[in-house]
């Protein structure tokens, strides 16, 4: 799967959260990462080509006044021409997934009716969701990171993998898909362990697979019981 990550931030080098996310990019997948404001001029043909070749497109930015920074809007207005998106009825983005990674300075609970911001992130991102709809893309649930600087180390550790999964894991985000995501990565992770830790790594891999098989067996048993109940 190819994931295109388009980052919009006017001062990327100063952003600890954006630098953290960049350092968290998974190494084992095809990820194309681009900083929109880092381009001196937008090469429309190149940008459109990148979009055509991606399976999942991620727009990543801090929330400025309930919207993306101006750089992303400029990119949209320049690259997403009417002819490209839908004008000639070819819909080159159809079937691709569009995900939003948004960082906010306010806590998650602020983004609800009655909360400090009085607006949900889904409502604030409505224009982008409408764009996805127009382009016949699949809209992914928003990945929001609230108050990054206040996160504890354990939360930052969890964020690394949650972010990697948002970029590369099949949707919807079910236990089954989460298990598959880890199963796929375990061999390479074990391979890079120091030799004296590899046996433990393999043991963990085998035990994890066993637990997964046990769950699958229970699911099968349950569906058999349900079938009999229907008879």
Out of 32, 106, 126, 215, the only residue in the binding site for another protein (CB under 8 A) is 215
Degrees, nearest 5: CA angle 15-16-20: 120
Q: By rule CB under 8 A, what count of residues binds another protein?
A: 35
Window 136 to 155, contacts with another protein (CB under 8 A) = 154
Window 175 to 204, contacts with another protein (CB under 8 A) = 175, 178-179, 182, 185-186, 189, 192-193, 197, 200-201, 203-204
In this structure, are residues 5 and 60 in contact, taking their beta carbons and an 8 Å threshold?
yes
Among residues 164, 195, 193, the alpha carbon closest in space to that of 181 is found at 164
Out of 157, 177, 184, 187, the only residue in the binding site for another protein (CB under 8 A) is 157
In this structure, are residues 147 and 14 in contact, taking their beta carbons and an 8 Å threshold?
no
In this structure, are residues 103 and 63 in contact, taking their beta carbons and an 8 Å threshold?
yes
Binding flag, residue 223, another protein (CB under 8 A):
no
From the CB of 207, what's the least distance to another protein, in Å?
5
Residues in the chain: 231
Out of 211, 227, 230, 231, the only residue in the binding site for another protein (CB under 8 A) is 211
Cα–Cα distances in angstroms (integers) from residue 207 to residues 54, 195, 202, 203, 211, in the given order: 35, 19, 9, 6, 6
- Residues binding another protein (CB under 8 A): 23-24, 154, 157-158, 160-162, 175, 178-179, 182, 185-186, 189, 192-193, 197, 200-201, 203-204, 207-208, 211-212, 214-215, 218-219, 221-222, 225-226, 229
């Amino acid at each position: 799967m190819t994931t295109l990550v388009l980052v919009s931030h006017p001062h990327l080098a100063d952003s600890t959260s954006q630098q953290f996310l960049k350092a968290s990019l998974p190494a084992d997948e095809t990820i194309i990462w681009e900083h929109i404001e880092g381009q001196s001029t937008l090469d429309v043909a190149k940008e459109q080509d990148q979009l055509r070749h991606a399976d999942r497109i991620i727009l990543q930015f801090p929330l400025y006044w309930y919207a993306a920074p101006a750089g992303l809007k400029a990119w949209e207005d320049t690259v997403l021409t009417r002819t490209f998106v839908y004008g000639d009825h070819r819909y080159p983005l159809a079937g691709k997934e569009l995900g939003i990674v948004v960082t906010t300075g306010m806590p998650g609970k602020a983004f609800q009716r009655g909360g400090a911001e009085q607006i949900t992130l889904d409502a604030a991102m409505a224009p982008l969701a409408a764009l996805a709809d127009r382009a016949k893309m699949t809209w992914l649930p928003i990945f929001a990171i609230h108050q990054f600087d206040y996160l504890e180390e354990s939360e930052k550790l969890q964020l690394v993998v949650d972010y990697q999964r948002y970029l590369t894991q099949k949707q919807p985000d079910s236990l089954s898909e989460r298990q598959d995501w880890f199963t796929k990565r375990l061999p390479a992770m074990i391979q890079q362990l120091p030799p004296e830790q590899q046996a433990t790594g393999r043991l963990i891999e085998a035990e994890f697979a066993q637990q997964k098989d046990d769950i699958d067996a229970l699911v099968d048993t349950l569906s058999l019981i349900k079938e009999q109940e229907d008879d």
